[in-house]
Structure 1
Amino acid sequence: MNYIKLLNSAFSAFYFDDRLNPTHISLYMALFQEWNSSRFAEDFFVNRRDLMRAAKIGSKSTYHRCVTDLNSWNYLTYFPSNNPYKGSKIKMSIIGTSDEPDLGHYDPKLEQLAEQYHPIREPVVNQHRPTSGQALVSTINNNKQENNNKQPKARQAVLDFFIEKNFDANEGEKFFDHYENKDWKTSDGKAIRDWKALAVNWMDRTELFDQENRPNKKQAYHKEDNLRTTKTKDYGQPL
């Protein structure tokens, strides 16, 4: 038994099972990750709130319906708990595999595989340990992705970006010098979060300024025409 083989077997079953909807599959995957975290134990305890968050399920009734369906359709065995301090117990079904070792026994290869996908050294997020001793562990990673576009690596990166947007490189020079002098901060002193978005805004404002200040040929023609004197005047006629 291994992680990839179990997962591939599950997806093969999903493909041919028209009873499933995306919420069933999302909940199964959240349960599968908890199973993986428990080193593929024969059974394990789960926290409903953590599972709902991992599976992106917002309704308790939807969660209970889906886990009951998965139980009825033999994807798992669900043992609900009436104890608020102890999670429900889940026993995952082995789908489409025959050459698997007995579950619940130590297997060095399985331990290494589980460590690869859920390292022991990784700090556990939102860990709760009730008085019964059963740890309810969330495997959700709340770390935000770092934004690498706070400021350009060099002047040339800005020029290349302006040229890529079919814009004059001289404007790129002005943009870079302007915000380099400001230490890449906004007018209110806050650090710029995305210089490319700021550059696009700079280009838009530049184009708008050019359009507003571009002379209107038709208006210029009439203005010039009105300055011309085309009528002949006879100063000999009485007023």
Structure 2
Amino acid sequence: MSTHRELREQLGVYALGHGEPAERAALRAHLDGCTDCRAELATIAPLRDRLAGVDPDRLDELPVPPVGLGDRVLAGIAAERVAVPTRPHRRRRVPAAAAAGIAAAAFGVGWLVRPVPDPLPLEPVAVQVAAPQVQATADVVPHTWGMEVQLHGEGFTAGEVYRAQVTEDDGRVVSAGEFLGTGPAEMVCNLNSSVLREDAASFAVLDSSGAVVLSSSL
């Protein structure tokens, strides 16, 4: 348990592409046999690309509101005061409405000036389908922590467990996760593997009997 906890604490460093080669190799070996850590790595991994889009020099900058925003907010408050009857129990609602308007405007400004990361570098790959009822396409996304396969498809038997795997150039087979078939409904599935894109030779999806349903040479 102690070793598992120590390795799990290294997942963040591993996802960012850091760590000593021996530590990264030990963690890759652990990921091959630990579904919990693979699931946690899949959750952490997308944050790495978002962090890469953040400009450290702008972290202390305050959002600058658009020109005239203050005047528009004040004008809206004044118009609301005119529209609301002057009964005492209604006047008390005006400050709350004004505060809500200012908060909404501030949120909108912050959203507009937020750092937006670059889109992921999708690499379309050819897919060979062995099951006649299955239709599928796939894109590969390279990461510093491994490789992601974005699988779009339909016709996978509803409720059946399918297993994905990536084969390295040296023939080593590494798990890329599992998913449930959705029948005729369209399915979008993100599969993650610790194999780096440059080391990957192919990937495949197998059904519950171990038969290859689809494959792709990379």
Report the structure, 1 or 2, having the larger helix content.
Answer: 1
- Specify the structure having the higher radius of gyration (Cα): 1
Greater per-residue strand proportion: 2
TM-score, L = length of structure 2: 0.18
